[in-house]
Amino acid sequence: MPALIEVIGTKNILGEGPLWNAADGKFWWTDIQASRLHRMDPRTRRIETTATQERLGCFAFIAGEEGRILAAFESGVGVFDCATGTVDWLARPEIGTGRRFNDGRVDAQGRFWIATMVEDARRAAPESASLYRFDARGLSVQQGGVRIGNGLCVSPDGGTLYFADSPRQAMYAFDLDQAAGTLSRRRLFATVTHGYPDGAAVDCEGCVWSARWGGGQLVRHAPDGAVREILPLPVMHPTCVAFGGADLRLMLITSAQHGSNEGDPAAGSVLIFRSDVAGLPGHRFARAGLTLGEAG
C-alpha cells in the first residue's frame, strides 16, 4: 500500500493531468479552471506557475524539446511556449461548441490521444464529445458518443489503450495497433460503483491506477480489470495520478476544490505518496513529419 508523504495545499480549483518530466526532475500539472500550468521539484516542494491563454486540459512533452509542450487547451491543440506564454495553434475544433478538451496521453509511438467532454448542455448534445488522435497526420476523431472522456493511459507493451467515460461510471480498453495508430475491440474494462473514474496511470506491472472523482480514493485495477487495491485519500475529488522521481516510485495525485464542500479541507491539494511498485517512464510526442513552428 502506498504511504502518504505529504499533503501540499496548492488550492487548485481543478488540478489535473500530472506528468513527470525526467529532463528537469519536476512534476507538471494543470489547474484547468484557473488557466495555470504548475511545475514542482519534489525535493524542494518549490512550485513554479505559468498562466495560459485558455484553460489547459492536458499536455504532452515533445521529443527533443524543453520549454515548449504540446497542449490541449479548451478549444484545441497548440504548441505552448512556457517562457513566453504564447501558443502556436495547430487545430481548434471546439471553439464555441459547448465542449472542451479534457484528458490526454501519449502512446509508445509518440501519438497524443486526447478526449473531449461536454461542458455546456445548452450548446452540445449530451453524448457529442470524442476521443481524438493527434500525430503527423493531424487531429482526427477515433471514437464518438462520449460524455466526459477521461482516464487515458497505455499498457506497458503499448498494445492496449485505456479510456473512461466518467458519467457512465465505465472504464474501457481498446486494442491499439501500434503501427497504424488505430483502435479496435472496444470492451468494458471495469464498472465503477463508488465515485466516477477520472484520470489514470499504469504501473510497471501493467495495473491501472484510477482516481475516483467524488469517491475519495485511488483504485488499482489488474490488467483484467479486477480491483487489486483501494487507496483512501484525504480529498473527496482526486483527479489524476502520476509516477515520478528517480525510481518512479513517487506518486503525485492532483485534486479539485471544484465541487467540494467545507467537509473537504484538503480539496485542491496535491498529494505525494511513496509507492511500493514503480510507474512507467513517460512517452513524449513524436514530432517527426509535423512542423511545430515558432509560437505566436
Alpha carbon dihedral 222, 153, 286, 26, in 10-degree steps, equals -100
The answer to the question of residue 60 being in a domain is yes
| CATH number of the domain bearing residue 160 | 2.120.10.30
Q: Is there a domain that residue 279 lies in?
A: no
Low-confidence ranges of the chain (pLDDT < 70): 289, 293-296
User: For all residues of the chain together, what is the average pLDDT?
Assistant: 96
Mapped onto helix, strand or coil, the DSSP state of residue 77 is strand
Please list the active-site residues: 198
Number of structural domains found in the chain: 1
Residue 107 belongs to some domain of the structure: yes
Distance CA 188, CA 170 (A): 7
pLDDT confidence of residue 205: 98
Q: How many CA atoms lie within 13 A of 121 on its CB side?
A: 4
pLDDT in the model for residue 27: 98
> Please, what is the end-to-end C-alpha distance for the chain in angstroms?
46
What is the torsion angle, in degrees rounded to the nearest 10, for the CA atoms of residue 176, residue 204, residue 63 and residue 53?
90
Tell whether 47 is covered by a domain: yes
Question: What pLDDT was estimated at residue 101?
Answer: 98
* 31 bridge partner residues: 15, 36
- β 138-146/149-154 pair status: unpaired
Task: Quote the radius of gyration of the chain (alpha carbons, Å).
Answer: 17
Cell of 241: 495520478
pLDDT of residue 289: 67
pLDDT for res 293: 61
136-176 pLDDT tens trace: 999 999 999 999 999 999 999 999 999 999 999 999 999 99
Q: How far is 12 from 32, CA to CA, in rounded Å?
A: 9
Coil/strand/helix, residue 115: strand
Domain that holds residue 235: 3-274
Please write the tens of the pLDDT for every residue from 57-73: 999 999 999 999 999 99
Strand ranges for 196-276 from DSSP E? 196-202, 208-213, 217-221, 227-232, 238-244, 250-255, 270-274
The reply to whether 287 falls in a domain is no
Contact present, 243 and 251 (Cβ < 8 Å) = yes
What's the gap between Cα 78 and its chain centre?
A: 16
